[in-house]
Structure 1
Amino acid sequence: MADLLRKSLRNLWSSLRHHPPAAWVTLVISLVLTWAGWYVTNQFIQHRASDRYAFQVKDVLGAIQQRMQTYESMLRGGAGLFGASETVDRREWKTYVQALQLDQRFPGIMGFGYIERISTDQLSAHLSRIRTTGNPDYVIRPEGQRDVYSATTYLEPDTEANHQALGLDLYAQPNLRGAMDRARDTGMPALSRLVSLDHVGAHDLLKERRLFMFLPIYRKNALLQTAAERQNALEGWIYTSMHSQDLLRDILGASNAEIDVEVFDGTDMRRDTMLYHDLGEEEPHLGRTDYAPDFSQTTHLEFGGETWSLFIHTQPGYIAASDTGQPIIVALGGLALDVLLFLMIGIMSDRHQQAHRIASAMTEGLQQSETRLRAILDNFPFMVWLKDEEGRLLAVNEPYAHACGRPDISSVVGMSETDLWPQDIAQAHEEQAQLAMQDRLEHITIGRITRAGQERWMEVHCAPWCANNGTVLGTVGYTLDISEQNKRSNPCAPASGVSVRSSNKLR
């Protein structure tokens, strides 16, 4: 039996050695193409999964940013109530917060309240006022002497935990003072780091780890240009407290089950800084050597002066077994795959060439359109311009460049009119542009200038340039020399003066 096998192998080898060279070349090419097919298929699967993962990451980041902006809007609404009222009492605050429907519109919020800043000489009056309005046992906690006090004066919804928090001096908390000072000095919402409140006499729920967001309330009509002025004008803070796990679970609870999200407070991503874990686990996956997801990404988000770090990774089986088996099937396909690969390459080549032809035709068409538009603009017998919101020239025609003494258009684009015209003319144009953008109306200014020793009457048209959504992007306009018309229609025109009129609102 063994001799028969050895004889068969020798005959096979002899047959292979005598195959023509073309057969070997075909075999080599076939093996190369088979390997190429396996490689291309594997890369395609990886890229498709990567694109899906990138889209899911974008969804997660967008959901968090949108929710935090919603909470910021809630704080600004509370500040608006204080700004519009002479005083806000507890009943008014309760009515306002009930109208907000926190449970339905602001999930994750544990409390929405007002913290009053109290100096030492205001302390007795503050305690007396609160005690005579239905809270006779009211005290500021923690007790003790300090230069400045703060007290949680109003806090809704009216739960047992929030009731126990009334009188809490959050400014006495070192891990909250930084955020409160940052809000006070900047006038902007400020987010705290992850904190645990543990005051004597406080409800147990206040010992849970929370996030706080603060927005300052200043004295009405006070100067707020500098940090020192804001500090002097501070009356208190509107604030909200959020349970980090509940907040992020509500935001990300509906996220794709194929990925896991871990959120950390700050850039130091450890177990004790973890705000949220999608799977509810206590240990983060970040840094684990026994876990190798198909895709993972660490990114950062900025909120209210604080940074959140997110580790977003895929779950096991993100790339399905049916997908991972495809390269193996392709590799075993051999010559059949070679034919399909050749067809695919041919189709891809045709599509590439077709796309290139379409792109070339579109580019040529755009260039022709731009050339025609430029020819029209440059042959206008008057100046035409386009400026951005800051007054920088984005486009002009040749009459404009020549009128301001420039050799060509490229030497004008990017400059402002103060770089090109006398101060009085540039200032008049700037004022007209500001009026046009402010009123969203076309403004027409008629004035007199002196050019080459001759007095000329110029009619300047300036209109707002808006995006499709109505955002003002700048101004567009043109200037006509109406000296001859002015002489014919009003030969006794005054020697000086400027008149302005506006057309209907542009749409």
Structure 2
Amino acid sequence: MIGRSHPFPACHRDRMKHSEKRKQRILHLFRARELLTAAMLSLALLVTYKLWETAQRAADQTVQTAFDFGVQESNERIRQRLAIYEQVLRATVGFFNAAENVTREEFRAYVNALSLAENFPGIQGIGFARLLQPGELEKHVAAVRAEGYPEYTIHPEGPREIYTSIVYLEPFHGRNLRAFGYDMYSDANRRRAMAEARDLGQAAMSSKVILVQEGGGDIQWGFLMYLPVYRNALPHATVEERRANLLGWVYAPFRVEDFMRGIGREHSAGLDIEVYDGQGRDNLMYDGHDDVRAASLPLHRSDALKAAGRTWMVSHGALPDFDSRMRSDRPQLILQAGISISLMLALLTWLFLDDRARALQAADQALQLALFDALTGLPNRKLLDERLGQAMASARRRQGQLALLFIDLDRFKPVNDSYGHACGDLLLKEVALRLQSCMRESDTASRLGGDEFVALLSVVDGEGAARLVAEKILARLTEPYEVAGHTFDISASIGVALYPQHGVDSKSLVRSADLAMYEAKNAGRATVRFAPAPS
């Protein structure tokens, strides 16, 4: 029957159309799955990168903070050591002032009582150099020889306007015997320091010298510290009176490498320390690592240290083992965990497009790694910064105050050294629990790393209230610790800064609290110090 269509071709055409649509739909699903998976993978990897970047910055800051603290500790130990030795010399001047005439035996007994080798590492001895006029030489030499030193003479020989002689030097054995009778005033470097001490009536240090004690091998650079001794009962208020009534100088010689031995401690270990007597490589006195230059290391700094009228330049550089020891492995862990999570999320997206909750949970776990301390569970530096910014904004609106407490543990290093880091970690956890027990719900206890903690008191009613909390924390942290079958007695040095008295932004407030903590350290530790009001 011409003119009538057959039903099968039409049906076939419909099936073809539906099949094509299904294919297109399937193809769109495949494409959507691929696009969504790629988008999820890209997004997850981007989040991982951002978290890694944040953790890397935090790790860099941790290394920088540890480096700065190590440098400060090293510099402070050098300052303290020089200050202590100056006090030893001042005590020796007092010993001369208290006696009409100090005999050799009395001087030896005095210095022996100081136990220099045990109590004052680096010092080679304590001596007394007498001032002599040319007309006094013969009588002086004869008197010393009569004491039982028949070969005594003043050296170097030769005519000079004035002479000096090292007549006492204890301990009087070994290297120090070479200095007996030496005229230090004959050497220009020593003479400048001796004249400065004489005219100012204060301690003065020489430039770098080779001590006359040196001989044979193991020759080191050295320096000397002088204090003038004036004749009893005679005035020395003016420069003229000081020059006219000078009896001599008490002094101490130092070998620089011996002096620097023991400067490095926990935070300054792994640092290259270089000491310059002024500017320039030619003035290098001490180099902790001859094979490297501190200034060539990625992390380095130089500081001027002034002591006894002289300025040293002290350069520090972080050696590779310092970086590896101080740097947290958290960025690497975040990177590894983040990549794994990203692949897992992509796979879950590929298989289960509706399983978003699991992906969000995994992403939230990655975010947790960047905000809390892995050991104690306390907020880390990043989260503390956020809460500090919020607390300062709130205090600014209500015209109130807040307090920031910088807490550094005292005597924590011996625990790690003697009982191991595992025991030290348990002790840090107990410290965190005690610190949290002193906090209100509105406050924040944070661990910056190592044995450094910070307490943020978001609302305080003046310095008195902040002091009460700080002393409560100090008392709590000072109580004995029972950890792993051992009893430990540690304490803390606490620096307190108030907003807005000691800083109107987070950076200045943290710096003020940090400096106050160092004041607490310098005050003997186990104490609380407030930041001074800005001038």
Return the offset for 1:23.
9.2
Q: Does the 8 Å CA contact 1:117/1:234 hold for their aligned counterparts?
A: yes
Q: For residues 156 and 76 of structure 1, do their structure 2 counterparts lie closer, same or farther at Cα, with a shift above 3 Å needed?
A: same
Whether 2:191 is the aligned partner of 1:189: answer no
CA shift digits 1:144-194 (9 cap, x unpaired): 001010100111112043223211001111121111111111111111122
Alignment equivalent of 2:140, drawn from 120, 126, 131: 126
Q: For residues 29 and 135 of structure 1, do their structure 2 counterparts lie closer, same or farther at Cα, with a shift above 3 Å needed?
A: same
Match of 2:287 in 1: 277
TM-score normalised by L of structure 2: 0.57
Q: Does the 8 Å CA contact 2:48/2:335 hold for their aligned counterparts?
A: no
Q: For residues 96 and 17 of structure 1, do their structure 2 counterparts lie closer, same or farther at Cα, with a shift above 3 Å needed?
A: same
CA shift digits 1:88-147 (9 cap, x unpaired): 111111111111111111222222110001112222222222122222222110000010
CA shift digits 1:388-428 (9 cap, x unpaired): xxxxxxxxxxxxxxxxxxxxxxxxxxxxxxxxxxxxxxxxx
Whether 2:364 is the aligned partner of 1:339: answer yes
Q: Compare the two structures and name the one with the higher strand fraction.
A: 1
Q: For residues 162 and 331 of structure 1, do their structure 2 counterparts lie closer, same or farther at Cα, with a shift above 3 Å needed?
A: same
Number of corresponding residues: 354
2-side partners of 1:131 and 1:12: how far apart? Answer: 113
- Counterpart amino acid of 1:339? D
Q: Does the 8 Å CA contact 1:216/1:236 hold for their aligned counterparts?
A: yes
Name structure 1 gaps, 5 residues minimum: 1-9, 371-467, 474-507
Name structure 2 gaps, 5 residues minimum: 1-23, 346-358, 373-378, 403-458, 466-526
Q: For residues 148 and 99 of structure 1, do their structure 2 counterparts lie closer, same or farther at Cα, with a shift above 3 Å needed?
A: same
Q: For residues 14 and 178 of structure 1, do their structure 2 counterparts lie closer, same or farther at Cα, with a shift above 3 Å needed?
A: farther
TM-score normalised by L of structure 1: 0.60
Q: Does the 8 Å CA contact 1:118/1:150 hold for their aligned counterparts?
A: yes
Alignment equivalent of 1:296, drawn from 281, 296, 300: 300
Return the offset for 1:64.
1.6
Match of 1:376 in 2: none
SS at match of 1:251: coil
Where in structure 2 are the equivalents of 1:87-166 lying within 5 Å?
A: 87-166=101-180
Whether 2:63 is the aligned partner of 1:63: answer no
Higher RCO structure (Cα 8 Å, ≥6 apart): 2
Whether 2:319 is the aligned partner of 1:311: answer no
Q: For residues 188 and 355 of structure 1, do their structure 2 counterparts lie closer, same or farther at Cα, with a shift above 3 Å needed?
A: same
Match of 2:187 in 1: 173
SS at match of 1:223: coil
Match of 1:494 in 2: none
CA shift digits 1:184-207 (9 cap, x unpaired): 1111111112201469xx965896
- Counterpart amino acid of 1:213? M
Where in structure 2 are the equivalents of 1:20-419 lying within 5 Å?
A: 30=44, 32-197=46-211, 204=216, 208-252=220-264, 254-256=265-267, 258-270=269-281, 272-278=282-288, 281-288=289-296, 292-293=297-298, 295-317=299-321, 318-319=323-324, 320=327, 322-323=329-330, 325-326=332-333, 328-329=335-336, 332=339, 333-334=341-342, 338-340=363-365, 348=383, 353=390, 357=394, 362=401, 366=461
- Counterpart amino acid of 2:77? A
1-side partners of 2:118 and 2:131: how far apart? Answer: 31
SS at match of 1:61: helix
Q: Does the 8 Å CA contact 1:216/1:234 hold for their aligned counterparts?
A: yes
Q: For residues 153 and 11 of structure 1, do their structure 2 counterparts lie closer, same or farther at Cα, with a shift above 3 Å needed?
A: farther
Match of 1:479 in 2: none
Q: For residues 255 and 119 of structure 1, do their structure 2 counterparts lie closer, same or farther at Cα, with a shift above 3 Å needed?
A: farther
Q: Does the 8 Å CA contact 2:59/2:328 hold for their aligned counterparts?
A: no
Q: For residues 206 and 229 of structure 1, do their structure 2 counterparts lie closer, same or farther at Cα, with a shift above 3 Å needed?
A: farther
- Counterpart amino acid of 2:261? R
Where in structure 2 are the equivalents of 1:11-22 lying within 5 Å?
A: none
- Counterpart amino acid of 2:237? Q
